[in-house]
Amino acid sequence: MGAIRLGKIFGIEVRLHFSWVIIFFLVGYTLSFFYFPEQYEGLPQSTYITMGLITTFFFFASILFHEMSHSLVARRNGIPIRFITLFVFGGVSSIAKEPDSPNVELKMAAAGPAASLFLGVFFGAVGVAAALAGAGAPITGVAAYLAFINVLLAAFNLVPGFPLDGGRLLRALIWKLTGSIQRATKIAADFGRGVAVLLIAGGLFLVLTNYLVNGLWFIFIGWFLDQAARGSYQQVVVSQALSRVLVRDLMTPDPVTMPDDLTLRRAVDEYFLAHKHSGFPVTRNEEPVGVISLSDIRHVPQGEWDSVRVSQVMEPLGHGAVVEADNHVTDLLTRLHDRETDRLLVVDRNHHIAGIVTNDDIARYLRVQVALR
Ligand SMILES: [Zn+2]
């Protein structure tokens, strides 16, 4: 939603959320017209703008570096990364599943702040070297700011509120101690919401004491963290509830199937009118080959119904359109999401149709589970 694709780095797709475009301008504007002119007086405005643009660019690159290091550590530990979205004050790596063990989570979470800390030291060293070489304020100023912002980024991300990196470290430790990812997530997310409340309260205080812009930033980040903390806890509860469930537990078994050599006339009379379903899986020699719905038939004039066959108008099964009955439901969710569809055919080991599963089946199962809790 609302993201621009930037390209791939190390095979990981990088996306830019629209909020980042706004942040980009805000940061660049604040640096060029307020921060640099106040810190380094007496330079021409064009120099401040150049400093602002360069700093903003490297600030952006620093966040990407931070996020990339999470992703690369995750991938090295066998957790596939689908893409990275950069937004607001950081980024989010879209990982296909939660880490399997607290140790993996520990490594993944530590990678980001470590990367930012490294950049902070790096830009600090560049600044010192530039100053020693006699470089002027434009260069040392940019380096000093980048050193400062990266250390700040590391520090902010180490705050122990889930889903910030510090919260992930906390979760990994509690998970290690208690053996329960759900309890660990609950505690770490509660910390996250606590931090969010502190940020919002601090922001209100700043607004009341005439630091309007800084105050609004605090409130905004606090609100964002609160949303993220709630969302990630619910996500863990849901994936825990589904983690032991197989596709066959949710599917509607033995759907009525239609052979692909049937004429449309017989398809309408013997299937659509007789069974009242709006769509049927189509088979050839017992194997699924497609899906047919009333809208596929509507395009064909009635006069041709005796000569046109189901195989000619059905929607053929594309790659990944079937799921095995013994797969985990989490695989099913990924598949439904990737294909942007709301139903999939389920097959058994011999590739015969075993059932059909829809988003509604999953929602119904979850409602029952939650109600019984
Ligand atoms: Zn991070």
pLDDT in tens, 88-114: 555 555 555 667 788 988 999 999 999
Whether the Cβ atoms of residue 71 and residue 12 lie closer than 8 Å to each other? yes
Q: Token pair for residue 177?
A: 């101690």
pLDDT at 211: 84
The enclosing H or E element of 363 equals helix 359-372
Whether the Cβ atoms of residue 192 and residue 184 lie closer than 8 Å to each other? no
Least reliable range by pLDDT among 84-98, 112-126, 165-179, 295-309: 84-98
Could you confirm whether 270 is annotated as catalytic? no
- Summarize the confidence of residues 322-339 as an average pLDDT: 77
CA of 46 to the centre of ligand 1 (A): 34
pLDDT band for position 183 (cuts 50, 70, 90): confident
Q: Token pair for residue 239?
A: 């994936």
Catalytic residue, from 13, 38, 41, 67: name it: 67
Q: Which residues contact 232 (CB under 8 A, 6 or more apart)?
A: 162, 163, 185, 189
Whether the Cβ atoms of residue 260 and residue 283 lie closer than 8 Å to each other? yes
Q: Which residues contact 345 (CB under 8 A, 6 or more apart)?
A: 281, 288, 291, 317, 321, 322, 323, 353, 355, 356
Q: Which of 240, 217, 90 is nearest to 150 (CA)?
A: 90
At 10, the amino acid letter reads: F
- Summarize the confidence of residues 300-324 as an average pLDDT: 86
pLDDT band for position 321 (cuts 50, 70, 90): confident
Q: Which residues contact 27 (CB under 8 A, 6 or more apart)?
A: 56, 59
* Pairwise CA distance, residues 97 & 334, whole Å: 10
CA of 157 to the centre of ligand 1 (A): 6
- Summarize the confidence of residues 263-267 as an average pLDDT: 92
CA of 70 to the centre of ligand 1 (A): 7
Residue 309 or 320, more confident: 309
CA of 239 to the centre of ligand 1 (A): 22
* Pairwise CA distance, residues 358 & 212, whole Å: 49
CB atoms closer than 10 angstroms to residue 255: 17
Alpha-carbon distances, residue 58 vs 18, 52, 55, 308 (angstroms) = 18, 10, 5, 62
Whether the Cβ atoms of residue 197 and residue 218 lie closer than 8 Å to each other? no
Hey, what domains does the chain have and what are their CATH numbers? 3-158 (no CATH), 247-372 (3.10.580.10)
* Pairwise CA distance, residues 337 & 358, whole Å: 12
- Summarize the confidence of residues 18-27 as an average pLDDT: 81
Give Cα 354 distance to the centre of its chain.
Answer: 32
CA of 207 to the centre of ligand 1 (A): 28
The angle formed by the CA atoms of residues 77, 82 and 83, to the nearest 5 degrees, is 115
DSSP 224-264: HHHHHHHHHHHHHHHHHHHHT-BHHHHSEES---EETT-BH
CA of 52 to the centre of ligand 1 (A): 24
Q: Token pair for residue 303?
A: 């006069």
Whether the Cβ atoms of residue 346 and residue 327 lie closer than 8 Å to each other? no
CA of 93 to the centre of ligand 1 (A): 9
CA of 66 to the centre of ligand 1 (A): 6
* Pairwise CA distance, residues 247 & 240, whole Å: 15
292: pLDDT strictly greater than 90: no
How many Cα atoms sit within 13 Å of 309 on the Cβ side? 10
Largest CA distance in the chain: 89
Q: What is the pLDDT of residues 333-353, one digit of tens each?
A: 777 777 666 678 888 888 888
At 95, the amino acid letter reads: I
Sign for the pseudo-dihedral over CA of 231, 234, 236, 239: negative
